[in-house]
Each structure stands twice: as structure tokens, then as C-alpha cells.
Copies of this chain bind each other. A is one copy, B any other.
């Protein structure tokens, strides 16, 4: 599969989602966490993708938080990628996409497993927990480190951040992740969320936008929340 076709097919054909944690200082502070000394990341399954317009399913007992994030679609396979060469591995910089995504998080389950030193995989990996909206054609990409990201619930803005405020910038993220695991064409890298995270409850309508420095809207993403009928039921 060539870069361009995989770039538009990553939701269906991509293999992994690598998500960076704590990459905006105000978000680190709002959750009372320690400032990271190096990037860290977790995996989300591609079975958690929810295309724009879909229904976010919130399992019973789960407090589901929104985290709006800039996503980078990997354009070619690489490992041990130096920061200086990172841009050539991002489809967004070559033929196609930056993506707009929400890293939905089961916050109460995450807090419970964190205390016990257990993995985050379930708390981050429920079906529909990675809403994702489109990609930006090469001609529209200006500076990935100067994009405005926002998220509104029922029309009220909850998150409104700028990618200029990332603690670790994109080339460093690619270098770090690829020093651990090979990145493959169609993988998605989520780059962390700005402050303002909070709950989404059944009945909410969520809308997100990505804008460039001039205020031009590049991408949008919308979904409605419902209660998941079956499946995991969280009890504290």
C-alpha cells in the first residue's frame, strides 16, 4: 500500500495507535501529575476507532473523559528514527494526514489501575474510545506546532489549546517511540491533550475542530454519546 492510500485508510488498515501521555503542562497540572522527564506512551487498539458522526458508547459505571489530540499518521516503516529525520516518516508531512482525534479515557478505571500499578489498556481501549476525523491534505499543512485544537460539549467549549504548547515536540516523540518499537505505515501517533479534560455523558453531543494560525478550520470531528448496552460494567 502506497503512502497516500494507506494515509486515507489507516482507520481500517492501520495496526496500532501509540498515544503520548502528559504532553501539555496545564493538563499535567490539572490532573495533579508529575511533569515527565522523558515522553511516555501507551497503546490503544485500532478496534477503538470511531469515525466522525458515530456513537461513543460509554460502559456502565465508567466516567469517560474527553482528551482532544492532534494525530499523526505514520507514512513509512521506521525504527530508531533520529529526531532530525522524523518528518519524513509522517504521512502528514509528505502526502496526506494530520488527523484530529479524541483519546477517550475511562478516568475512574484508570485511577484504580494506576494505584494498583496495573496496565492502562482497558481504561484506554474500549470500543469507540478513539473518535477520529479525517486528514489534512499536504497543501493545507502549515506548521504542525502552531495549530489550535478545541472540543465542545453541547456547544460549550471545554478544551482550547495550541500545539505550540507541547512539552515534547513531534520529532522528539517519533524518536522516542521508535527507539522502543518499530513504527509502521498507517500507525497513528496521538500527541497528548491540552488542559480542560472532563466527563462526557450519554446524551452529550461532542464537536472538535482543528484550526491553523490564521483561524482557518482544517478538520472537524463530531460524535454523540450513548450508554453501552452490554459489555464491561465497572464497579469501584
Judged by a CB distance under 8 angstroms, whether A8 is at the interface is no
Q: Are A43 and B127 in contact (CB under 8 A)?
A: no
Distance of A117 Cα from B119 Cα, bound (Å):
8
Residue-wise interface mask of A (103-127) relative to B, using a CB-CB cutoff of 8 A (1 in contact, 0 not)? 0000000000111111111100111
| CB neighbors of B among A115-145 (8 A) | 115-122, 125-127
Q: Which residues of B contact A114 (CB under 8 A)?
A: 117-118
Of A44-52, A151-159, A218-226, the one touching chain B:
A44-52
| Contact (A45, B125) CB under 8 Å given A80-B231, A114-B117, A117-B114 | no
Q: Are A47 and B122 in contact (CB under 8 A)?
A: no
| Contact (A45, B126) CB under 8 Å given A40-B119, A117-B117 | no
A215 to chain B, nearest CB (A): 36
Q: Are A180 and B79 in contact (CB under 8 A)?
A: no
Distance of A192 Cα from B180 Cα, bound (Å):
23
A21 to chain B, nearest CB (A): 7
Count of chain A residues near B, Cβ 8 A: 40
| CB neighbors of B among A193-236 (8 A) | 230-232
Closest to A47 in B: B182
Distance of A125 Cα from B45 Cα, bound (Å):
14
Distance of A83 Cα from B177 Cα, bound (Å):
36
Q: Which residues of B contact A117 (CB under 8 A)?
A: 113-115, 117
| Contact (A231, B121) CB under 8 Å given A15-B47, A45-B15, A184-B47 | no
Distance of A16 Cα from B118 Cα, bound (Å):
19
Name A's B-contacting residues (CB within 8 A).
Answer: 15-16, 18, 21, 34, 40-48, 59, 79-80, 113-122, 125-127, 176, 179-184, 230-232
